[in-house]
A and B are shown apart, each in its own frame.
Chain A
Amino acid sequence: MTARRATGHPAPDTKPVRPYRYLLLWAELLAVSWRRAPLLTAMQFVIPAAMATAVIGGALALRVTVDAMIRGDAGGAVAGAAGAGLAGTAGIVLGALDSHTAGILIGRVAVLDLNPRVHRDITTLDGLEHLERSDFQDRLTLVRNAGWEIVLSLWSANGVLFAVLELTVMLLLLGTVNPWLLWLLVFAAVPLWFDQRGNSAIIRADLRAAAPIRRQRHLFDLATDPAAGKEIRVAGAGAELARRQAAAWDEAVRLRLRAQLVAAGWRMAGWLLFTAGFGAALVLVVHQAARGAGSAGDLVLAVTVAAALRQSVYTGVRYTTNVASAGRVIEPYLWLRDHVRAQRTRVGGSAPSPPRLRHGITLDRVGYRYPGATGPALADISVHLPAGSVVALVGEYGSGKTTLVKLLGKLYQPDTGRILVDGVPLDELETRTWRSRISATFQDFGRFPTRFAENVGVGDLPRLSDRERIAAAVREVDATALVDRLPDGLDTELDAALGGVDLSEGQWQKTALARAAMRPEPLLVLLDEPTASLDAPSEQEIFDRQMERSRRSAAGTNAVTVIVSHRFSTVTGADLILTLHHGRLVEAGSHRELVAVPGGRYATLYRIQAEAYAREGRRPTAAGAGGPEPDVHLRPN
Chain B
Amino acid sequence: MAILGDVRLLAVALRAARAPLTVALALLLVLGALLPPAGAVAMAHLVGRIQSAVPADAALSAVALPLLVFVLVLVLGHVVDTAVAPLAFLATARVDGAHRARVAGLAAAGSTIAPLEDPQVRALIRAARADPENWTEQTPGAGAVAGLRLAGNLVGVAGGCLVLARYAGWLVPALLLPALLNGVLRQRDAARGIAVWRAGTLDGARGQRWQDVATSPAEGKDIRIYGLGAWLTARIQRHALAMEAPVWALLARTIPREAGQLLLVGVPLVAGYTVVAAGGAGAPVGSDRVVAATAVLVSGVAVFQALGWTEDLRVAVAAVGCLRATVDLASRLPTPDQGGASRPAAGTGPDGAARVRRVGPPLVRFEGVSFGYPGARRPVLDRLDLEIRPGELLAVVGLNGAGKSTLIKLLAGLYEPDEGRVTADGVDIAVLGAAAWRSRLAIVFQDFVRYHLPARDNVVLGRGDHPPDPVALDAAAADAGLEPVLARLPAGWDTPLARTVAGGVDLSGGQWQQVVLARAHYAVRMGAELLVLDEPTAHLDVRTEFEVFSRLAGNRGGASVVLISHRLSTVRHADRIVLLDGGRITENGDHDELVARRGRYAELFAIQARRFATGGRG
Contacts and interface: CB of A to CB of B under 8 A. Distances in A.
A8 B502 CA distance: 25
B301 to A, nearest CB: 4
26 contacts: A81-B293, A84-B273, A85-B273, A88-B269, A88-B300, A96-B261, A128-B221, A131-B217, A144-B215, A220-B131, A231-B445, A236-B439, A240-B465, A253-B94, A274-B78, A396-B542, A397-B539, A397-B541, A409-B224, A411-B221, A438-B225, A440-B225, A447-B218, A498-B123, A592-B616, A632-B485
B129 A409 contact: no
A226 to B, nearest CB: 4
B187 interface: no
B95 to A, nearest CB: 11
A245 B101 contact: yes
Contact of A566 (B274, B443, B511, B541): B541
Interface string A371-414: 00000000000000000000000011110000000100101000
A597 to B, nearest CB: 14
Interface in B560-580: 566-570, 572-573
Interface string B467-500: 0000000000000010011011110000000011
Contacts of B555: 622
Interface in B390-416: 398-401, 405, 409, 412, 414
B523 interface: yes
B363 to A, nearest CB: 19
A128 to B, nearest CB: 6
Interface in B498-523: 499-511, 519, 523
Contact of A253 (B90, B269, B554): B90
Contacts of A244: 453
Contact of B570 (A108, A289, A537, A612): A612
Contacts of B270: 81-82, 85-86, 89
A229 interface: yes
Contacts of B152: none
A534 interface: yes
A564 to B, nearest CB: 11
The B interface, classified by DSSP as helix, strand, loop or mixed, is helix
Question: Quick one: which of A267, A500, A625 has the most chain B CB within 10 A?
Answer: A625
Question: Quick one: which of B101, B225, B232, B501 has the most chain A CB within 10 A?
Answer: B225
B510 A241 contact: no
Contact of A115 (B237, B550, B551): B237
Interface string A95-128: 0110011011001100110011001101110101
A249 B446 CA distance: 30
Contacts of A271: 78, 81-82
Nearest to A632: B488
B214 A81 contact: no
B9 to A, nearest CB: 21
Interface string A595-608: 10000000001001
B613 A634 contact: no
Contacts of A425: none
Given A131-B220, A634-B489, A627 B400 contact: no
Contacts of B615: 572, 595
A586 interface: no
Nearest to B506: A635
Nearest to A58: B301
A442 B221 contact: yes
Nearest to B260: A93
A76 to B, nearest CB: 9
Contacts of A482: 400-401
B342 interface: yes
A224 interface: yes
Contact of B57 (A290, A397, A636): A290
A549 interface: no
Given A78-B277, A242-B104, 20 more contacts: A65-B293, A66-B294, A120-B230, A123-B233, A131-B220, A134-B499, A219-B104, A224-B116, A236-B341, A236-B435, A249-B93, A257-B89, A271-B82, A290-B60, A435-B224, A448-B222, A499-B122, A566-B545, A570-B611, A572-B615
A504 interface: yes
A508 B538 CA distance: 14
Interface in A431-480: 432, 435-436, 438-440, 442-449, 458-461, 464
B610 interface: yes
A429 interface: no
B304 interface: yes
B258 interface: yes
Contacts of B481: 625, 630
Given A436-B227, A461-B231, A131 B544 contact: no
Contacts of A428: none
A497 B217 contact: no
B247 interface: yes
Contacts of B550: 620-625
Contacts of B219: 446-448
Contacts of B111: 233
Contacts of A443: 509, 539
A245 B304 contact: no
Contacts of B231: 458, 461, 464
A239 B270 CA distance: 63
A532 interface: yes
A91 B569 contact: no
Nearest to A140: B215
A227 interface: yes
Contacts of B551: 622, 625
B286 to A, nearest CB: 11
Interface stretch (B47-55, B158-166, B315-323, B421-429): B47-55
